[in-house]
A and B are shown apart, each in its own frame.
Chain A
């Protein structure tokens, strides 16, 4: 997936991805990647967990907004635990600030 991400960005579109395998993502070094140590097949978390899914989208968009060019290709570890994290509501009206 990192290969495709690089190609899309190369073509001129900003991209952000979630990573479930830090070493592979590091090797492919896509422009923006956020790592969570969660089971495969669950980049946005658990089924029907709306707050968790929204939080992951928030993290992705925030990264798009804030990551500086110098940190392209770095894999950011969000440090979120699997099933032991408490998710509150995220205020998306702050996205554009």
Chain B
């Protein structure tokens, strides 16, 4: 653990109860820009026949997977299988207060809730793989040129119909 990550974690906890401060802090850190029109694909299927994938930037991974680099930022992702035991996940993230996420990962990675909806027949199924990143990624070029294509390829391979994204 570096001094930087200790400081970031301390700031994240200290400003946790103050949403406006958090937002100011995040805006200061976020430099990403986009060009061109927002892409659009209509959803034309039935939810009861659709396969959902979740992409989260909550910083979840399994203990045996490589840790995220919270200091330098990290554009890599970890695969979380659909039948994962959420209690086994660990969280690397120094830019938000991770205590609640550790207590119940469903607040970012709602696999238990989605499995219930599949059991109820409201959703067709969960994709075999879900996607976890750590949301501090100053390397936006790598994010767009490497991470996103990898994720897209995996989603296509697994015939995903709809993607839910949740930020930390």
Question: What residues make up the interface of A, taking CB atoms closer than 8 Å to B?
Answer: 1-21, 23-24, 27-31, 37-48, 50, 53-54, 56-57, 60-61, 64-65, 69, 72-73, 82, 92-93, 95-96
Contacts and interface: CB of A to CB of B under 8 A. Distances in A.
9 contacts: A1-B55, A1-B165, A9-B40, A13-B41, A17-B165, A47-B101, A72-B38, A92-B117, A92-B122
Interface of B: 12, 16-17, 19, 22-23, 26-27, 30, 32-34, 37-43, 46-48, 55, 57-58, 93, 95-98, 100-101, 103-104, 106-108, 110, 113-114, 116-117, 120-122, 133, 135, 140, 143-144, 147-149, 151-152, 155-156, 160-168
Given A24-B26, A41-B101, A6 B151 contact: no
A2 B140 CA distance: 11
Contacts of B156: 11, 13
B120 to A, nearest CB: 6
Contacts of A3: 32, 34, 140, 143-144, 148
A43 B110 CA distance: 10
B58 A57 contact: no
